Every structure is written in C-alpha cells, then in structure tokens.
Structure 1
C-alpha cells in the first residue's frame, strides 16, 4: 500500500509511532474508510490497577474512538483464571473470582478517564460472559479442531519457554485457544473486526484472526504496537520503586507527574507523540530542544499526560509542588547542590553516595538502602548495585536521605 494510508486512524497512529505489525494493512485501511470499525484490546485482571506499560494501548484505543470507530475494552474475567504464558518464565499465580472482580473494578476506573462509554460509543466487556459457561467437550470439538499443536508450539512465546526447558502447564497452553475464541465471539456478537495489542501478543492475535476466518469465513484483522523501552534500555513503566500504577489510590498524581518529568532527554519527543494529543509538529519541536529548554518540554509532557489521567487541576498542583521541592527546596529552603564529574560515571549508587560525601561511607550507604531510607527523585531505592550514569542524572537528580536531608546532584 502507499506509504501514507487513506484512513485517519492509520495515518495518525503511523505518524505517531504506534504501529508495529498488521495482518493486512491495505484491507484494514479500506474497511476503516468505509467505517466505522469495531476493535478490541484484552486486559487480564492480574493486578488491582493498570500501569504505565498499558498506557500505549489505552492511547491507541482513544485514537481509535476519536477517529469515529468503536473500541471494546475486554476484561479477562475468564482468561485470568488461566493466565497468559506469553514470554514468562513461570506460571502466573491463580487468582480467585473475588480477587479477579476486585481487580477488574480497579482497572475500569482508568479506562473511564480515556474512553467515552456513553450511548454505545465504547464498550466494556468481560470474557467470563462466554468462557465460564463453555462445555469442554463441545469446545474441543467445535473450536479445538481448528488448532494445530505443531503450529502452537512454533510461536515464539511458547517456544522460548520450552527452549529454556521451563515447564508449560496444559492449563497455560490452552490460553491462546481461549484468546482466539474471544475474537470469534466478539465478532459474532458485536461485529468486532480488529484485535489490537502489544507485539508480544502477535501469535495470540494471529490465532484469533485465523479461527474467525475458519469458523465464520469472515475477514478480520490483527494489529500490534511496539514493545517500548526507554532510550537507556529500561522497560517502559518501571522505576526504582516499582511499577508506575495508573490508579490514584496506588500512585499519587504527583508521583505520576514526576515519572514523566524525569523522562530522559532522548525520549521526550517520542513520548509526546505516543502519550499526548499534541500535534506531531509540536512534539517534534519540543523533542528537539536542548539544554535547559528541554526541561520545559519535560514539564509539558508531564502536564499533558497527567491531565489525561488525573485532570488539569491535579497536573497543575503536581507542577507547583515539584517546582517548590526542586527549585526552592521546599519549606522555604534551598536544596544543596552536589556536583560530580561526567568522566567518573557510571557509578553504583553506593559508590556515588560515598564519593560525593552524601553519606560518610559505602557501608553507611548500604545500610541506608537496606533500611529503605534512600530515594532518587522520590522513588525508593532497594538495590545497592543500581548504576547511575549521566543520562539518569540529566538536568538534576534529587537524592533524599531519610525524611529531611535532600541533595540535588548535578554534573559539573
């Protein structure tokens, strides 16, 4: 197909960096032009909140709706009872029905911030609706016969587990069949013609496309987004203190804002395109800034992303608090600035604390970390081997020792 698709949805997601693969981009483009199209992304209820790693695909659903299509958020009330084995080294712990429902309740709060569920514009479904009542023998006869075990074993998500000689239970092996069945059922019930997800779900998505075509002889498609890492190679959504949760009860709006404010310089333009609705030209302009100007681009990023999730007032409050803490030291005082030469980096956090005199010795630094008394940019530090490099320091790294001692580390 032409480099620039004709449909608004595909044009937007391609220029903003959302697209990894599609089973038939030309046919999907034509269907979107005729539109509207219904598409879904599935979310298993394995935690009480979604995290930043989910935000890319939530934004994908938001763009899908904003371009006149109907998104479905599919809660995995049924599949969570099995557990997705994709690219895992061990089996997920099995959750009871009460915990699964509690997790779904927490996840639904996040989706309501990004999608409009009024008047059938978006739909929220639970695959327990059709999975819980399945007759096993009927399911094997009607659905299982369409799956080749040889082909299932060839998918990278399964093959990588077996190649490492790690156990894969029969329960987990069934997961890809159940996910494929989800697509089939949603096509039957709601004319859903597109499944989207992260690129780690490619095999599962292709299974659903193939099953729907085999059983119903209908043309449907699959589309994936790239698996994101930060420019320094870290998995998107992880910090020193753990997952960046999207529920305000699990992570404050201020901490969420800080996560985005601390984005590495090289990631600012890319993240603006993916996680905000600013025009692409503006994202490119902000991402190209350097020196002290890139800091204001990071503030813009933090404000835009926080506004989408927590609201404009929460974003403004977080920015005001951050400026007080970082620029004025909080409580009317100034943060003491500590400098370190770029040529001495990288250093472990223990070496850095001792070398800069923030702690009296490496031994004291290790004790501080072990007792949970050290924070970097308000994230708790639990690993004394964490490496601090110039990219991590950026325009300034706030080091908190206990509750009252704060230092701003800069390269000088």
Structure 2
C-alpha cells in the first residue's frame, strides 16, 4: 500500500477532510472500504464527475475497496442547487439514466482481485423505508439548526425561490446511505466534491450518533481554469463523458486546448501517471512550451481512459487531416462529422453541386471570407483549399465528387491558408 493521502495532497486533490491525521493513518495502515456516489440527474456524467471517478480509481490502486453508488433513490430527488429548485424527472427517465451512468462508472474501476469494486444502488434500501420509519429512525438524528447551516441550504433560503422540503431532505437521504454502507459493507470513507461537503459530513455525524463510531470523509476541490471561465465547459456547452453527447474528437480537443497555465495541474488531477512522471513532463514542457507536451500527454491519457485508445487515435488522425496532415477519406463517418461539427459552416444543396457551385461562393457560404472578391484573392494567392487540395483557379467549382460522407449526410471541407477552416453541409 502506498501513502495515497500524501499523493492526493501533492496532486492538489484534498480540499477538506475529517481528522486529517486519523484519515492518513487509516489509509496507510488499513484496507478501507470507501464509497463515492453519482445521481442520475442527467443522461451522462460530466467533467466534474471525472475527478471523483479517477480519485476512486487511485484509492483502489492503493489497496482500498471501492463502492460505486448510483443514486436510484436520490436521483429521484436531486441535491439542492444554488440556482434553484430542480425539476423532478419521471421515474422511467431516471431508470434509463441510471443504467447509462452505471455503465460509465464501471469503466474506471477493477471488478476482480482482492480489492474488487462493487456497484450499489441506494434505491435498494431507501425504497424499503416507510415515511414513519424514515422520520423515526433517521430524521430523528438530524438537528434542523445544523441542516439549515449547510451552504447549499442557507443559500437557497436567502433567495426568493426558497427550498422545498423534498430537496431539504436530500442530506438526510445521503447521510442514511453512508450509514447503510457502513452496516452492510463496513464502509468507513466517503469521497466527493467540496460542494458536497455538507452532505458528506451528514453521514459522518449520523454514524457517530447511531453507531458511536468515527468514520471519514474527504472532499476534492472544484477544478478551476486560469482564465476564470468554468472548467468542463466549452462554447458548445458541457463536456460529457458519453460519446453521443460529446464526441471523442471534441473531448480530445478540450484537453489539447488547455491553457499552458492549467495543463500540468490537470495532468496531476486527471492522469494516472505518477507524480515523478508528471514532474519530468513538466520540466520538458517548461523548457519548450511550444511543443505542447503537457497538453498532448493530457489529451492522450484522459481520452484513452474515457473512450479508449482507438477513439483517441481516430481523434488525433482527424485533427491532423483537417489541416492537411492526413487523408480525410481515411476517417470514419462519425469522426469526420464530429471533427467538422464546430467549424464555421453553411448549407449547400445537392442541386447547386450538380450544377457546379463556384468555390468562391462556397467560401462565402461557409463564412471563411466576407465576399467573393476576398475569396478570389485567396485563390489567386494559392491559399484556398477544398478537402486539403489547393484550388487551381477562381473558375473552379464544387461538384458531388467532393462530398465527404458523414452520419448526417455529407460535408465539404474548406480552408484558407494554414489555419482558417470552414465547411459546407450538403442538404437535399
């Protein structure tokens, strides 16, 4: 067993914990059973959840026993958000999302060997509780004054929207989860994000009151970006772990585009490489930042971890092909569609192609240039490309032969110079 507490601390992954010395001693001397929970309040986990998944994987690799809790019960409620009351999702939707999230969680943990992971569902024990049992056996141990002091609760009580009793009860449900896992599996550590600290400690307090036992909680910090924008967000929205919501190409690009100031920090959080390996990468990166070694390593490690090596290789091949470093026709339709999906673009009909659409018109339609005159100048200067092939003259036209197939039909890639990309979608 390794000193996992010191490793997590060196990676900047401990925001707050219960008795630090006691937790470090327990992690170093025992094989703890620990849990981390995920609620199905969306059809996929996202980048914030990835911190918890990788932290759980680190603890397992250090010789501890993971319980991955999927919230079939708490997902029907939803923890209080700062922004306001959640909309309750239908049971069948929650069950569908639960199955998807369970599949995502299972990719990060090892279910064989002496420290085999288990997936548990809090609906299994919560559904057995009557309202009377819940209030007598669990609610009795939660002082309302302490519940009101929780940050997520106090913030909501101070605004006009208020807080329903349903969401107010969430911390009681989560506290009961910890108690049940303590009783059923001997679980003595819960991990989560620092924004969940109030919910984490509710279980610690409940076990102390009911079982007279001291257990642990550990919260990771919220990940931030150096430029002040929200981590895990792009111009097109949230970065999801589900490939149907965020393509492996877009996922890989998210890491490749990391700010130089953030890249090494992200490596410590999201890569399973040792700190010694990361220190060596940092030294090389600092000496030659133009190589973007930290970003490239980050993209490879995390994309491979989440989507697999094949999808990482396809994403890198697609990025190279867009800028002329590979064959566009070699890309599968899904990767090509994902790689061109966020480019400036416009629509071109099959009829226009059949008639022969002037390349200059297509460049205007795609938004690469503002006028046909500007397009003609780019062509004359030798800086205009169709599917990475240089345009020979301003009388050249686009035809159906240039269409590259995608899942949604077809696309033609346009480029001005080395870096200005656009595309036209083919519509009937």
Aligned to 2:308: 311
1:179-230, CA deviations, whole angstroms, 9 ceiling, x for partnerless residues?
1111001000000001110000011111110001100111101110001111
Q: Does 1:113 align with 2:107?
A: yes
Q: In 1, Cα distance between the equivalents of 2:25 and 2:289? A: 45
Aligned to 2:192: 197
1:88 and 1:161 in contact (8 A); partners too: yes
C-alpha displacement at 1:274, in angstroms?
Answer: 0.8
2:317 and 2:326 in contact (8 A); partners too: no
Aligned to 2:403: none
SS at match of 1:27: helix
SS at match of 2:57: helix
User: Higher mean Cα deviation, 177-186 or 289-298?
Assistant: 289-298
C-alpha displacement at 1:329, in angstroms?
Answer: 8.3
Q: Does 1:206 align with 2:206?
A: no
Which consecutive segments of 4 or more residues in structure 1 shift more than 6 A? none
C-alpha displacement at 1:10, in angstroms?
Answer: 0.6
1:366-411, CA deviations, whole angstroms, 9 ceiling, x for partnerless residues?
xxxxxxxxxxxxxxxxxxxxxxxxxxxxxxxxxxxx964446269x
Q: In 1, Cα distance between the equivalents of 2:134 and 2:216? A: 23
Aligned to 1:371: none
Q: Does 1:260 align with 2:255?
A: yes
C-alpha displacement at 1:327, in angstroms?
Answer: 5.4
SS at match of 1:118: coil
1:146-170, CA deviations, whole angstroms, 9 ceiling, x for partnerless residues?
1111111111111111222322001
Structure 2 residue runs of 5 or longer lacking an equivalent are 330-343, 345-366, 372-410, 422-428
Q: Please list, as runs of the form range in 1=range in 2, the aligned pairs for 1:119-268 lying within 5 A after superposition.
A: 121-268=116-263
Task: Pick one of 32, 44, 53 that aligns with 2:39.
Answer: 44
C-alpha displacement at 1:325, in angstroms?
Answer: 1.6
C-alpha displacement at 1:127, in angstroms?
Answer: 0.3
Aligned to 1:376: none
SS at match of 1:143: helix
Q: In 1, Cα distance between the equivalents of 2:291 and 2:237? A: 26
Q: In 1, Cα distance between the equivalents of 2:291 and 2:134? A: 56
Q: In 2, Cα distance between the equivalents of 1:217 and 1:255? A: 49
C-alpha displacement at 1:295, in angstroms?
Answer: 2.0
Q: In 1, Cα distance between the equivalents of 2:202 and 2:289? A: 49
C-alpha displacement at 1:131, in angstroms?
Answer: 0.7
Q: Does 1:100 align with 2:94?
A: yes
C-alpha displacement at 1:330, in angstroms?
Answer: 6.4
Q: In 1, Cα distance between the equivalents of 2:210 and 2:323? A: 60
* TM-score (structure 1 length as normaliser): 0.78
Q: Rg larger in 1 or in 2? A: 2
1:103-134, CA deviations, whole angstroms, 9 ceiling, x for partnerless residues?
11111222222101235611100000011121
C-alpha displacement at 1:359, in angstroms?
Answer: 4.9
1:70 and 1:121 in contact (8 A); partners too: yes
C-alpha displacement at 1:25, in angstroms?
Answer: 1.3
SS at match of 2:69: strand
Query: Does the C-alpha gap of structure 1 residues 282 and 133 become closer, same or farther in structure 2, counting only changes over 3 Å?
Result: same
1:19 and 1:223 in contact (8 A); partners too: yes
* TM-score (structure 2 length as normaliser): 0.75
Aligned to 1:30: 25
Q: In 1, Cα distance between the equivalents of 2:239 and 2:88? A: 23
Query: Does the C-alpha gap of structure 1 residues 173 and 165 become closer, same or farther in structure 2, counting only changes over 3 Å?
Result: same
SS at match of 1:98: helix
Q: Does 1:282 align with 2:277?
A: yes
1:299 and 1:319 in contact (8 A); partners too: no
Q: In 2, Cα distance between the equivalents of 1:281 and 1:7? A: 14
Q: In 1, Cα distance between the equivalents of 2:258 and 2:324? A: 18
